[in-house]
């Protein structure tokens, strides 16, 4: 029994005793019988009360009940009667004296109350880290000629002070303090063999055995921790859904309502929001035999502006180029488009020369029919969207004009044709980033589930007390894996459901393959969280390490940008990260429809499983090292 509480505050009294009883290898029936006895002996409150709601003295009594629950052959108690009333203190001492005589228990007690120690068979008096005397109480009184143990301790302390000033050891220390190792305890080993049948001698020497009884107790403890924090549990399940919604709504879609300043010299400027432009969409060019009949073209610039995507581009009109470019400089517009007064006329002459096979004359009118555009290139994505829609709008405009004139539109098509092998002609960035984002969400949410698990138990003292009770590092890690894996499965399925079913992110491959990879990445994140929890001693350090790993991982794993854009050195580092090959595998499944037979896919599974094993082994070794 440690001096600190070393109990979990969210447990009730009954749950605390049941947990440690299972760890000690007791049957539930025997635990309940012992609970009834200990409640009467220690005057414990009702069993359903939570430990955190008890007074300090009541919490100490619960801790004592846990220590004596399984009636060990060796019992070490650190000040068990602190904060206990005299009557209860007497009952505790009577119980321990009776257990020592009848059950042959060896009980070692530390206490500041010297008088109560008189009931012990042997007393060791310690001061400043030194044993001043060790003998039976009556022998000490007789040896130093005192009537109370307090007088004996006072005399020994005074002798120690004199000896310290003289820098020589006291005679009592030299005479009384002898460490003997004549006898080796054999009962504890037999008790372990009897109580934990699954662990043989070889297993105990390797300390890798997993007891089903202890594992059940640890799972019971972890489950209660989750259920008792219901608001936190609901937030844990809601968090991946919120992140997926924010990603799908905010990332990858084309920007809307981009202001484009326009100066159209073909018409008279009226105001910035409206420009009267009487465009008549009538065929103005026809071919009759060997003759080309061309009507006058007017206000063709207005026809072109109609074809600009009104969802993406918001047109604002300006009277001249200086005011137009000023709007871009001041951040009021993303670009400035200038259409010359000769646009329609020059475009007409240009087309006429093409049909008349007079290409040299056509070149002369090229400059006059050009549309000049100045763009704000500080935002690369917006500039690309504006360029794309401006060019696409003009392409659609010319195709419709040619079509109405009964001219084959292929004459105006570029000589290069692009066809897709995978994906669509107008790719969406959301589809590219979704595989990496979903794996990153699952991985780091799993890290957050486990990064603080061991630290919290270590700070509460529960981890050390569980180790003393016989729990191994392997059992603790596996119990957390089993418990948190259930939570992680729910998080993963909810995230995939919203991303694929609700927001319709493309997935032409096997959903089973995507789910399995996401679950493996979640398990990998949990194991990485255990490594952080095992290494760090404070919660703030674990949080800083987790956050510090987030941005390098997401930037180097190819989730948001192609790996081919990286320098070769960083690319080599990137391939060694847990998320890189997995992201490539899921992207191949979702966007290409590949299966496990493709190397891109199966290497993702292999790398993830390898990282799971590495993280788990490292975590177990670190916990064992710190335990030792």
- Domain check: are 560 and 531 in the same one? yes
Higher pLDDT, 302 or 205: 302
Mapped onto helix, strand or coil, the DSSP state of residue 472 is: coil
- Tell me: pLDDT of 354 over 70: no
- Domain contains 94: yes
Q: Encoding tokens for residue 349? A: 């002459």
- Domain check: are 435 and 392 in the same one? no
What is the per-residue pLDDT for 2?
A: 65
In this predicted model, what pLDDT tens digit does every residue of 248-277 receive, in sequence order? 999 888 898 999 999 988 887 666 555 666
What is the per-residue pLDDT for 284?
A: 52
- Domain check: are 454 and 602 in the same one? yes
What is the per-residue pLDDT for 182?
A: 42
- Domain check: are 516 and 613 in the same one? yes
- For range 543-564, the mean pLDDT: 90
126-161 residues labelled b (16+ CB within 10 A) or e (exposed): eeeebbbbbbebeebbeebeeeebeebbebbeebbe
- Domain check: are 241 and 332 in the same one? no
- Domain contains 172: no
Angle in degrees, CA 613, 616, 617, rounded to 5: 85
- Domain contains 75: yes
In this predicted model, what pLDDT tens digit does every residue of 467-483 receive, in sequence order? 888 888 888 888 888 88
pLDDT tier for residue 332 given thresholds of 50, 70 and 90: very high
* Half-sphere exposure in the Cβ direction for 387 (13 Å, CA): 10
Global pTM reads 0.76
- Domain contains 587: yes
- Tell me: pLDDT of 43 over 70: yes
Cα-to-chain-centroid distance, residue 305: 49
Q: Please choose, from the candidates 380, 335, 592, 468, the residue with its C-alpha nearest in 3D space to the C-alpha of residue 600.
A: 592
- Domain contains 159: no
- For range 387-397, the mean pLDDT: 89
Domain end point (choices 412, 444, 473): 412
If you ran DSSP here, which 8-state letter would residue 116 be given? G
- Domain check: are 578 and 448 in the same one? yes
- Tell me: pLDDT of 97 over 50: yes
Mapped onto helix, strand or coil, the DSSP state of residue 339 is: strand
- For range 93-107, the mean pLDDT: 84
- Domain check: are 396 and 340 in the same one? yes
pLDDT tier for residue 206 given thresholds of 50, 70 and 90: very low
Q: Please choose, from the candidates 449, 622, 439, the residue with its C-alpha nearest in 3D space to the C-alpha of residue 546.
A: 449
- Domain contains 113: yes
pLDDT tier for residue 45 given thresholds of 50, 70 and 90: confident
- For range 306-315, the mean pLDDT: 86
- Domain contains 5: no
In this predicted model, what pLDDT tens digit does every residue of 396-445 receive, in sequence order? 888 887 777 666 667 667 778 888 888 887 788 899 999 999 999 999 99
- Domain check: are 380 and 450 in the same one? no
CATH number at residue 388: 3.40.190
- Distant-in-sequence, close-in-space partners of 19: CB < 8 Å, separation ≥ 6: 11, 217, 220, 221
Average pLDDT, the chain: 81
Helix axes 511-535, 453-460, angle to 10 degrees: 30
pLDDT tier for residue 281 given thresholds of 50, 70 and 90: low
Q: Report the 3 state secondary structure along 214-243.
A: HHHHHHHHHHHHHHHCHHHHHHHHHHHHHH
- Domain check: are 284 and 393 in the same one? yes
- Domain contains 178: no
Q: Please choose, from the candidates 98, 31, 95, 103, the residue with its C-alpha nearest in 3D space to the C-alpha of residue 74.
A: 103
For 469, the domain range is 212-245+430-627
- Domain check: are 292 and 231 in the same one? no
DSSP E strands in 324-477: the ranges are 335-339, 371-375
In this predicted model, what pLDDT tens digit does every residue of 508-551 receive, in sequence order? 999 999 999 999 999 999 999 989 988 888 888 999 999 899 98
- Domain check: are 482 and 405 in the same one? no
- Domain check: are 486 and 531 in the same one? yes
Sign of CA pseudo-dihedral 440, 444, 449, 454: positive
In the chain, how many domains are there?
A: 3
- Tell me: pLDDT of 138 over 90: no
């Amino acid at each position: 029994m440690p001096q600190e509480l070393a109990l979990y505050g969210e447990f009730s009294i009954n749950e605390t005793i049941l947990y440690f009883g299972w760890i000690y290898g007791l049957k539930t029936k025997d635990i309940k019988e012992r609970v009834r006895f200990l409640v009467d002996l220690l005057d414990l409150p009702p069993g359903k009360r939570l430990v955190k709601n008890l007074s300090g003295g009541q919490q100490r009594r619960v801790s004592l009940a846990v220590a004596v629950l399984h009636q060990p052959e060796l019992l070490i108690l650190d000040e068990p009667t602190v904060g206990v009333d005299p009557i209860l203190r007497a009952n505790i001492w009577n119980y321990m004296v009776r257990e020592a005589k009848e059950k042959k228990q060896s009980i070692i007690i530390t206490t500041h109350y010297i008088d109560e120690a008189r009931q012990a068979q042997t007393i060791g008096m310690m001061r400043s880290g030194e044993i001043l005397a060790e003998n039976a109480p009556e022998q000490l009184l007789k040896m130093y000629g005192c009537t109370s143990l307090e007088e004996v301790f006072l005399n020994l302390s005074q002798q120690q002070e004199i000896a310290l000033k003289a820098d020589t050891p006291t005679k009592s220390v030299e005479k009384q303090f002898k460490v003997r190792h004549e006898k080796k305890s054999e009962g504890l080993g037999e008790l372990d063999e009897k109580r934990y049948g699954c662990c043989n001698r070889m297993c105990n020497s390797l300390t890798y055995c997993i007891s089903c009884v202890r594992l059940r107790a640890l799972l019971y403890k972890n489950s209660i921790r989750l259920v008792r924090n219901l608001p936190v549990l609901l937030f844990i399940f809601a968090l991946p859904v919120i992140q997926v919604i924010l990603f799908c709504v905010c990332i990858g879609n084309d920007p809307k309502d981009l202001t484009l300043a326009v100066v159209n010299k073909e018409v008279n400027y009226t105001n910035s929001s409206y420009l009267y432009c009487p465009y008549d969409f009538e065929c103005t060019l026809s071919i009759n035999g060997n003759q080309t009949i061309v009507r006058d073209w007017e206000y063709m610039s207005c026809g072109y502006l109609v074809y600009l995507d009104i969802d993406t581009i918001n047109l604002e009109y300006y009277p001249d180029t200086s005011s137009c470019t000023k709007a871009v400089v001041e951040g009021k517009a993303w670009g400035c488009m200038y259409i010359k007064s000769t646009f329609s006329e020059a475009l007409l002459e240009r087309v006429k020369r093409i049909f008349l096979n007079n290409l040299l004359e056509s070149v002369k009118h090229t400059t006059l029919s050009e549309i000049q555009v100045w763009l704000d290139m500080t935002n690369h994505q917006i500039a690309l969207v504006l360029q794309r829609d401006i060019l696409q709008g003009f392409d659609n405009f010319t195709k419709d004009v040619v079509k109405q004139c009964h001219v084959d539109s292929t004459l105006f098509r570029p000589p290069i044709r692009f066809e897709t092998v995978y994906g669509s002609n107008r790719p969406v960035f959301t589809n590219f980033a979704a595989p990496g984002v979903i794996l990153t969400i699952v991985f780091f949410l799993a890290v957050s589930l486990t990064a603080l698990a061991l630290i919290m138990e270590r700070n509460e003292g529960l981890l050390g007390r569980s180790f003393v009770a016989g729990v191994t590092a392997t059992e603790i890690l596996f119990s957390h894996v089993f418990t948190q894996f259930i939570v992680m499965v729910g998080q993963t399925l909810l995230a995939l459901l919203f991303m694929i079913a609700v927001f319709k992110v493309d997935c032409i491959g096997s959903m089973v393959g995507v789910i399995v990879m996401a679950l493996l990445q979640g398990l990998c994140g949990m194991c990485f969280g255990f490594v952080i929890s095992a290494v760090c001693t404070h919660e703030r350090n674990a949080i800083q390490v987790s956050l510090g790993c987030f941005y390098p991982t997401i930037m180097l794993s190819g989730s948001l940008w192609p790996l081919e854009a990286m320098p070769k050195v960083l690319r080599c580092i990137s391939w060694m990260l847990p998320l890189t090959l997995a992201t490539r595998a899921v992207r191949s499944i979702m966007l290409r429809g590949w299966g496990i037979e493709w190397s891109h896919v199966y290497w993702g599974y292999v790398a993830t499983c390898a990282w799971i094993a590495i993280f788990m082994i490292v975590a177990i070794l670190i916990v064992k090292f710190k335990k030792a």
